[in-house]
Amino acid sequence: MTGIIDYGCGNIFSLISSLNAIGERARVVTRAGDVSACDRIILPGVGAFKNAADKLENSGMADAIKMFAKKGLPLLGICLGMQLLFEKSFEYGERSGLNLLEGQVKPLSEDTCLKIPHMGWNSLQFIRKDKLFRYVGEGEYVYFVHSFHAKNCKSVIATCEYGTTVCSAVGRDNVYGTQFHPEKSGDVGLRLLKGFTEL
């Protein structure tokens, strides 16, 4: 069973629909105490880093997610959920994250002259092979909506180009993240989620 962390900052309905489409049982998790009952968890996220990080911390979800990851169970952060996995963000000031992956989150506008937010379809270039992407091929397109991106990251799996090289997916041991939205990426996104549910 895959738990979807609901802390008021995520696209829950689309994720449930996507998991149902691949035959995976999904459970919406609203209490920190229920995180440990899941086989794997997804941390979605839309909005501002500080607001999301504050909500995770105040609800006890931050500690529950870190404990879950420490047990070696699969965790996938999506978009802002991926950014929250890093050490800290510089979105409207400095705010610490979950510190599960090395790296910082900085404005995409510092590195590209293209339109912000980065919104639309981009193809993936793989830096290394990973079982999360066992059903996804080089050059396949996924959907992005973001204004900030991960930098100084040592766990990059895939990138895309948007006037600069954007960290599109990360992974270390059991902790994964995608800057793009699998639940909005059609068949490619479904195949990625299938790979995640098989970890």
The catalytic residues are: 79, 181, 183
Alpha-helical segments (H) within the chain: 12-21, 49-59, 61-70, 80-83, 186-197
Q: How far is CA 77 from CA 85, 111, 138, 164, in A?
A: 7, 23, 21, 22
DSSP label at residue 109: G
Cα dihedral across residues 164, 10, 153, 148: positive or negative: positive
